[in-house]
Structure formats: structure tokens, C-alpha cells
Structure 1
Amino acid sequence: MIFIETLRKGRISLKKKWLAILALILFPLAAIGIFFTNKMMYIRKLTDEELIKRESDEGHYHHEEFQQLQKEKVCIPSAFGYDLHGYFVPLPHTTRTIVLCHGVTVSLINSVKYMKLFQKLGWNVLLYDHRRHGMSGGKTTSYGYYEKEDLAQVVKWLRKKLGEKAIIGIHGESMGAVTTLLYAAKPDANANFYIADCPFASFEDQLLYRLKTDFRLSGQWILPLSDQVLKWRDGYSIRQVSPLDVIDQVKEPILFIHSLHDDYIPCEQSEQLYARKKGDKRLFIAPHGAHAMSYSDNKEVYEQEVEAFLEAFQFNQNERGE
């Protein structure tokens, strides 16, 4: 009996040792996964003050001018239980409308420069804040995965307001461009054209690139670990955010834009997307500017490329948008 009791205690002790070893292995792995998914889900956003100063210094935004602009406040329910806030800026005698999707860390203030571009071309503009940005609700940033569903609600709202015959386009910058392309590939997408400025082709490849650049890490084991934690915490996989995997499903025309010297999302990503896109498409590689600076540093030629794209596919003709 003494022998059996000793053996039993030995087994319990051994089991505790293995559990302790397992905990020592899993705890740091979990901590690493949580650290990197926090970086993704809760990426630091610019404050309104920081963004207004940046856009004002670059001559893109004048606060008083925007406050006095004739516009309609928009509040669109998301399918995920929060509200999307923005503005509908109308022009008389047209239903042609462009939706502006900003990038990560900023808000619709960043879209005002593009609003001015399209207003000059005679378009209504709808600019709104993505989830977890600006005035909109939502707890996490998902780099297009949930944002594409929010964009679907925005387009539905516009169709209800303007009718099925209205010409609706979507312009996205950076994460907004990824959101635009992921939405465009949905079977029920209901816009007429898309402009994607500096998107990544694959979230996985972009994260591998940033891990190498920012942390000098290969990402071979960090990314699979973070992916499992991301699925648990936010309900989707990194590989589900890949415009490259779905771009061949987009039937409508796309204008791809990227700066040649973008070192945050290399311009090769847009070149990959352009190569795989079937049907109507155009590609503009801006000669100057860093990431998301193609318009700021190539303003005149950027406007020319956008106008040429709209003219090429007859989206800028008044009768189509009336």
C-alpha cells in the first residue's frame, strides 16, 4: 500500500512538472501573440488635432471652410452593431457620387483633399469614418475584413438615396484601398468603378514585410502564432484579407495608383493586383512621394489620371449620372 501511494504521488508530481513546463512554454507564446495582435487591432490613431495640423500644413484642409461647407450629416448603421458617421456633400443637378475611404490611423479629414478633386469634376461626395476611427463606432481595426461590410452598408444607403441608375464610384487610400478592393469582389457589390491608391495585395505579405522592416524578424513563426490569436480575439484570419486572391472576381473598371518610392507598401503590390485584374483597368505609378503621398506630391498629374480614367469609361459624362 505504501508503494502504491508513493507511486501515485510520484505520478501527480510528474504531471504537475509537465503542466508547469507546458505553462512556461505557452505563456510567452501567448504573450507574443497578444502583443502583435494588439499592434494590429488597436493601432495608434492620430488625434484630430494632429491630423488637422498635418492636413492644414500641407494645404489640404481649412477647418473653417470645411465647417461652413454645405453638407448633410450621415449616420449609417453597421451590420456589426455600431454606427458609421460621415457627410454627404451634394452638388446640384447630378447623382454621380464618389465614396471616399480613408486609411488606417486617420479619419475622414484625410479624405477632404480627394473631396475637392472630385467636386472640381462635378461629383457629389460621401466621406465617412471607418470603424474605430473618427466619429464611428467599432472596437477593432481589421484592415478591410470588417470594413468591407461597412462599405457595403454605405453603398446600400447611397443607392436608396440616389437610385439604381446613379453612377457610384469608390476611392480608397491605403487600408481604404484594400477595403475598396475587397468590397468590389463581393458578389453583391453595387458600385460602377473603383480607384485604389496604394493598397497592399496580401495582408500576410505586408505583415511579413513590416516585421522584417520594423522588428528585424522573419515572421516565420510569429505570423502563424499571431494568426491563431487573431482568430480567437477578432474572428478572422490574416489570409482572409487578401485583395490578390479575389481581384480577378471584380468586373468593374479599376484605376490602381501607387507611388514609385513607397517604402511602407511597395508599389509592386499594386503592380501585382493590376496584372491579375481581368478586364478594364489602368495603372498610374506616381514618380514622387512616400506612402499615401501620390496626390500630395503629384497633384496635377494625379488629377489628370483620375479624369482620364473617368473619361475613358464614360463615367464623367453628365447624362450617365443624372
Structure 2
Amino acid sequence: MKKRVIIWTSVLTSVLTASTTVLGYVFTNKLMYMKKKEDDFILNREITSKRLDEVWFNEVNKTEKWIESKNGYSLKAIFVEPLETKNYVIICHGVTENKINSLRFVRMFERLGFNSVVYDHRRHGDSGGKTTSFGFYEKIDLQAVVEAVRARVGEDAVLGIHGESMGAATTLLYAGSIKDDANFYISDCAFSNFEEQVYNIMRQTTPLRSSLAIRFASLFLKMRDGYTFNLVSPIEVVDKIEKPILFIHSLQDDFILPKMTEALYEKKIGPKTLKLFDIGAHAKSFNENSEEYEQVVADFLLENKLLNK
């Protein structure tokens, strides 16, 4: 009898271990290799929606540039320079998108007196990199882009960083844990805590509901990609950012909840602005409120003496 119990206990343990391993592998695969939108789809979507003017883009002064990341691969960037100015904004796109999606912000910043730099995050568009890390490795890539802009324009340039979704989290992680060297930051619909965000995604896409599953997934992520969920947490570093931050979110966002941006805003010390739009799904604040969005950005820049108007 005792021998039978031992056998069944061993079998049960083996089944649970195997099941946990499979679930951990499958779930971390969904994160590391999240399905991206096709480049042609993004381009056609932006043109059809009239957020990208092909004639303007073909004629505007621009330079394509490869930037080497300390992570060991190249990042594809476009310096869009319609103006004779040392005012520049780096624009960081969200997960599954690419640099073409960032171009919709370029005309806004041009009207506000800034040239722009758009680039592909790792594993997106034309850039290298095997996995998506939601800001952990991306913040190091952003450092390379910042250094490339400073090298091109000069240390006296007025530099801003605008990020949307994962790009916003990357922006905050960069400024809070690597170098707070931009003049301002715009965080549009960032998550505050990646573990909490992953738990929300898990509940939406899997039958799992236990926080234990999150801990297992974090462990698997550490083994497979070198980091854990708690290392991708803008809320832990936002209070270290001294430069002005404009926090933006839409109240209708049900993918990354607006309470995350509110929490980031509350923890930020020093100059900060919060704007919550009534209309717009995730990463759609600009699409649905473009004129008001631009005015909010202009007011933020004026308030912080970064706009000569």
C-alpha cells in the first residue's frame, strides 16, 4: 500500500511538473514572440486613415540611419528633419507596431518646432533582436538612440522622448534607471507594473487565474530571456525622474488600464502633467483627439519653458 502511494505521488508530481513546464513555456512564448502586425498592414492603415501623408513623407528632409545597440544588434531609425532647429523628439512605438506608426506624431511635433527621430524597437520592423522584453532590453536600445541624436545634433539640443504603450514604459524605464538626460518625456498609456499587466493579459487570454502561475511564468522568463517581471516596472523608478513628464491615457482603454497612468503620475516627484481623454481605446488617444492632444502637448511644453510661443 505504501509503495503504491509513493508511486502515485511520483506520477502526480511528474504530471504537475510537466504541465507547469508546458504552461510556462507556452505563456512566455506569447510574451517573447508576441505576434506583430505586418509592415505592409501598418503602412496601408496609416495611409488609408490619412495619418500618413505619402507626398509629404517622400519630400520631407530625412535620413535613414542604423544605430548600434549595446545589446548586440542594429536599430533602424529615420531622422525626420523638416526644420532648421536643435529641438528633437525621439518617438517610441508600442508592441506589435513599427516606426511607421510613429510618423503620425511627427507632423504635430513639426508644428511645435521639433524635428523627430522614429525607430524600430528590437524584433520589430527592420531592427535586430530576437525577443520582445517590454522595456527591459528596449531601454538600453533607447540609450543608443539618445546618444546618436546627441552626437548628430549636439549636447545643447532640446531633446524630448515620446513613448506610447510599451514605448512609454521603455521611456520611463530609461529615464528612471539609466539616464534622465532628456529635457522632457511624454508617457502615453504606459503600464505601471508589468507583473500586474501580465496578470491582466493572462486572465484575458488563458483559463489561468492564480498568481502562482505568474510567479512560474516570471521564473521561466528569467531562464529563457534573462529577466523577471519585477524588473520591468516603471512605477519603481518614476520617482527618480526629475525632468518634466506629461502622462496621457484614455479612460476607455481596457488593455492597459488608466489607473496605471494615474499611479505613475501620483508617484512622480517634480514637474508633471496628467491628461485623461474621455474617448479612445488603447493607444488611440491621439487618433481620436488629435487637436486636443496637440494642445495638451503645447501647453505642457509652454508650462515647462520648452516651447518658444
The equivalent of 2:112 in structure 1 is: 121
The equivalent of 1:52 in structure 2 is 43
- Name the counterpart of 2:229: 238
Give the Cα–Cα distance (whole angstroms) in 2 for the partners of residues 187 and 84 of structure 1: 19
Deviations 1:286-314 (A, max 9, x none): 11111101011111110000000111111
Give the C-alpha shift of residue 28 in structure 1: 1.3
Cα pair distance change 1:139/1:64, threshold 3 Å:
farther
Q: Contact 1:37/1:226 (CA < 8 Å) preserved in 2?
A: yes
- Once residues 100 and 261 of structure 1 are traced to their aligned partners in structure 2, the CA distance between those partners, rounded to angstroms, is 23
Counterpart-to-counterpart distance in 1, 2:46 and 2:179: 35
CA offsets 1:258-282 (integer angstroms, 9 cap, x no match) = 0011111111111000011000000
Distance 1:115 1:92 in 2: 12
The alignment covers a number of residue pairs equal to 307
CA contact (8 A) 2:180 2:241 kept: no
Evaluate the alpha carbon distance shift between residue 23 and residue 68 of structure 1 in structure 2; reply closer, same or farther with a 3 A threshold. farther
Q: Distance in 2 between matches of 1:185 and 1:247?
A: 6
1:200 equivalent in alignment to 2:216: no
Match of 1:6 in 2: none
Taking the TM superposition and a 5 Å limit, the aligned residue runs for 1:86-125 are 86-125=77-116
CA-based RMSD: 1.9
Could you tell me which residue of structure 2 aligns to residue 145 of structure 1?
136
Q: Shift of the alpha carbon at 1:120?
A: 1.3
* Alpha-carbon offset, residue 18 of structure 1: 7.1
Q: Calculate percent identity across the aligned residue pairs.
A: 42
- For 2:16 and 2:173, locate their aligned partners in 1 and report how far apart those are by CA, in whole Å: 37
In the alignment, structure 1 segments of 5+ residues that lack a partner are: 1-10
Task: Trace 1:267-306 onto structure 2 (pairs within 5 A).
Answer: 267-306=258-297
2:124 maps to what in 1? 133
Compute the displacement of 1:84 (Å). Answer: 0.4
Q: Is 2:180–2:242's contact at 8 Å kept on the other side of the alignment?
A: no
Counterpart residue number, 2:76: 85
Higher Cα Rg, which structure? 1
Between the aligned partners of 1:67 and 1:19, the Cα distance in structure 2 is 66
Matched-pair contact (CA < 8 Å) for 1:197–1:292: yes
Q: Give the Å deviation of 1:181.
A: 0.5
- Residue 211 (str. 1) matches residue 202 (str. 2): yes
Structure 2: gaps spanning 5 or more residues: none
**Which one-letter code corresponds to 1:44 in the other structure?**
K
Q: What letter is aligned with 2:159?
A: I
Q: Distance in 2 between matches of 1:233 and 1:250?
A: 30
- Corresponding residue for residue 172 of structure 1: 163
* 1:14-93 to 2 correspondences below 5 Å: 22-93=13-84
Is the CA contact 2:250–2:279 (under 8 Å) kept in the aligned structure 1?
A: yes
Q: Is the 8 A contact 1:97 1:126 kept in 2?
A: yes
